[in-house]
Amino acid sequence: MPNRPSLPPDFDTRYPESSRRATECAMNLVSTADQLVGKISKLLRPYHLSPSAALALGILADSLEPLPPHAIADRLILTRATMTGLVDSLERRNYANRQPHPTDRRMVLIEITDLGRRVTGEFRRLIHRHQHTWLRSLTAADKGRLLSYLHQIQDGLEDRPA
């Protein structure tokens, strides 16, 4: 049985303006996300990819044309410096390469290589198969409800102007 996050018995007394259930939900969401990232990281290890690098490679694989680094960084919510490191890592493994932008000499475009495309197909099949196994205990209706709840939480976390 996994070690599930829990709260001290005096939680309600110590934090009267809070919600014990909300905190338990948040703690368990974070714990679950950490477990998933850990399992995915382990699956990606043979490809020498972090989850972020794999997501970047997936974005490139799905694109019909090379992309500017900022387009990938924006989708992954990464800084440009972090994106530069990811692209460096992908280039070292021959999964992607930089090429000059055809009209703007200040920019580069990132293009997936044939090896990068093949590796992306491999790790996606591997990860999707494991996700199916990890979530097998949920029915299709459970998964639908979970997605609905997660979307509600994501909406509640959206930054909105005051």
Domains of the chain: 21-128 (1.10.10.10)
How many Å apart are CA 23 and CA 29, to the nearest integer? Answer: 10
Ranges of the chain with pLDDT below 70: 1-2, 160-162
How many Å apart are CA 49 and CA 82, to the nearest integer? Answer: 14
The predicted pLDDT at position 125 comes to 97
DSSP letter at 108 equals E
Q: Which of 110, 29, 33, 124 is nearest to 66 (CA)?
A: 110
The predicted pLDDT at position 162 comes to 56
> pLDDT tens digits, residue range 120-139?
999 999 999 999 999 999 99
The predicted pLDDT at position 2 comes to 67
The predicted pLDDT at position 9 comes to 87
- Inter-residue contact 94 to 48 (CB < 8 Å): no
The predicted pLDDT at position 1 comes to 61
pTM of the model: 0.83
